[in-house]
Structure 1
Amino acid sequence: MQESSQFPVQVQQPVQARPTDSWLQKFAVKHSIIISDATGQTFVPVTSFTHNPDWLSTMWLATRKDYLDQDIFHVDETGLFFRLTPEKTMTCLGEHCFGGKLAGERVTVVLGTNLTGSEKRHLLVVGKCSDPQLLASIEGWPLKYASNNKSWMTNEIFESELRDWDSELQLKNRRILLLVGDCSAHPRVSNLKNIRLVYLPYHVASVRQPMGRGIFRSFKTQYRRLLILQLIDCFEKNAATSITLIDALRMLYKAWLRVPVEMIKNCFLQTGLMKSGSEGSVFEEFEDDIPLSLWLSNHSFTQFDAWKETIDWYVEADSELQTSEEPEEKDMKIEEPAAEG
């Protein structure tokens, strides 16, 4: 299980961040459940958002007309409890984590890829730890690490990442279109030379964003597998099973590499963002992307049999972690998405 930990991370210093959405409500929507509280008050899940039904066929086609699929990228964030083990699954379901002690147990991971899945952007990981020893030990790794008190994406981190990316593209004489969600952590960034930045309106993003259609789940599945393998290795060697942030960064890097390219492409096909002539099946399944319970069974890993009933929940137990400040209702865009550059 030991591998070389020498790999490039550019480090940004701590910046402050601040407060969403209910895991329980989303779970209810997904499974058509009506929820009541202790007083008997009923909460009926909201099943749809008001959005422009012609966005894909009008605004989007006009926006993307000068770009090939491989030159259109999407970036989004997901929260992750990097030390979470299967037996703790039920204690973390629906956790938002607005800071405090739990902020040191989680990270925000920024994933970026083009529509074809052929080009994955290096990971950007935001954690709480700003220990100089940690920063020195990860120097040179193929990912970036930033920190703040709540382990969230912030305006400063977002803008810094985009300006670095824009500089890289200028050196390559390449222009891209970049889709991001319209939220408080994604500020308007002016004077980008080679990135056309397009902000998906809040309501459209809720329906159309591809990361939630399987990319986040696949990434977390790969990470949980690597974590389980490390735990098993520790059990067999009768060694301590603590997972450090260094361990987590190494596994996050490997997990992103293992997300199937064709699965990413199919997620984008489902959104309608790709050109209609793009090939692929939106119903295709991938051998390396099977449920965690089946993966454990296939490899005869019996150490986690006690939690087999909840092991598949384990993958996305942290799916409701806060990754940035909650946008105000007045900031949620419903009209044509703004574009920069």
Structure 2
Amino acid sequence: MVCANMSCKEKLELLVIGKSRKPRCFKGVKSIPVLYESNKKAWMTCSVYEDWLHKIDHKFQRENRKVLPLVDNCPAHPKVLIQTLKAIKVVHIPPNLTAKMQPMDQGIIQNLKVNYRQRIIKRLLKASDKKMWLTDLNLLDAIFDLNEAWADVTSDIIANCFQKASFVKTDVENLATQEQDEMFYNDLQRMLGFTEVTIEYFINVDTNVIIANEPTDSEILNSIKAQGP
């Protein structure tokens, strides 16, 4: 789960979903820089989403702030428990407008992926230079790489994506970061000889991976009951 505000001054910590409730690599680790949840398929579910909503609601209550999150109509993002939220008011983007109005889908998530995969490639190249296989990458490493990749998503990129989603009107668009990303992968292709692998394929290789489940009948009924009369 990725969330940032339109002023580009705040990015919430990432929500990462894994399969193991207590991964071995977490042993002895006092804290991690993300919110971590788990289920058998590492999916976003209604319960994970609702727990996340309540956590950020409590955060903004403590800070005495009122926040309007824009959320897409993923089946795992039900319109439930609205009455129990005090600091936030969730707005669900109409399904036919999500691709155009959800700022995260305009390039923010894409840039996060680019930053993360650059770090993975650098790990591979470093291991290759030492004539070693990259076998020590675990969930904890991935989480720390993801957190750093999220920190590298600049305010300019966030502003540009909100602009692209028609939230901000300006005639200036900063494409420097996009050009740097393309240069990195072009150089990488030349170094490794991966001429048959395009930048777009490498970045979007997991685009069609299923990340959420359809709510069950009981979940739908419970969500309706939770809304009250």
* TM-score normalised by L of structure 1: 0.57
CA contact 2:46–2:76 (8 Å) conserved in 1:
yes
State the Cα distance separating 1:220 from its structure 2 match. Answer: 0.8
Between the aligned residues of both structures, percent identity stands at 29
State the Cα distance separating 1:139 from its structure 2 match. Answer: 3.9
> In structure 1, how many angstroms separate the alpha carbons of the residues matched to 2:181 and 2:8?
23
Match status 1:285 vs 2:175? yes
Q: Deviations over 1:196-244 (max 9, x none)?
A: 1111121121332222221121111111110011111111222331232
Match status 1:237 vs 2:124? no
Match status 1:307 vs 2:194? yes
> In structure 2, how many angstroms separate the alpha carbons of the residues matched to 1:240 and 1:150?
27
CA contact 1:292–1:315 (8 Å) conserved in 2:
no
User: 2:106 corresponds to which residue?
Assistant: 213
Match status 1:294 vs 2:186? no
> In structure 2, how many angstroms separate the alpha carbons of the residues matched to 1:228 and 1:319?
19
Q: Deviations over 1:234-291 (max 9, x none)?
A: 11222331232122111111111111211111111111134x4xx462x4302x3336
Greater helix content? 2
2:38 to 142, 147, 160: 147
Letter in 2 for 1:238: K
State the Cα distance separating 1:327 from its structure 2 match. Answer: 7.6
1:256 to 150, 153, 156: 150
SS in structure 2 at match of 1:324: coil
Match status 1:325 vs 2:196? no
User: 1:54 corresponds to which residue?
Assistant: none
Greater strand content? 1
Match status 1:316 vs 2:204? yes
Q: Which has the higher contact order (CA 8 A, sep 6+)?
A: 1
> In structure 2, how many angstroms separate the alpha carbons of the residues matched to 1:292 and 1:310?
15
Residue-pair matches, total: 212
Q: Compared with structure 1, are the counterparts of its residues 224 and 132 closer, same or farther at alpha carbon in structure 2 (3 Å cutoff)?
A: closer
* TM-score normalised by L of structure 2: 0.83
Q: Deviations over 1:149-208 (max 9, x none)?
A: 111111111111111111111111111111101222112233111011111121121332
Match status 1:198 vs 2:88? no
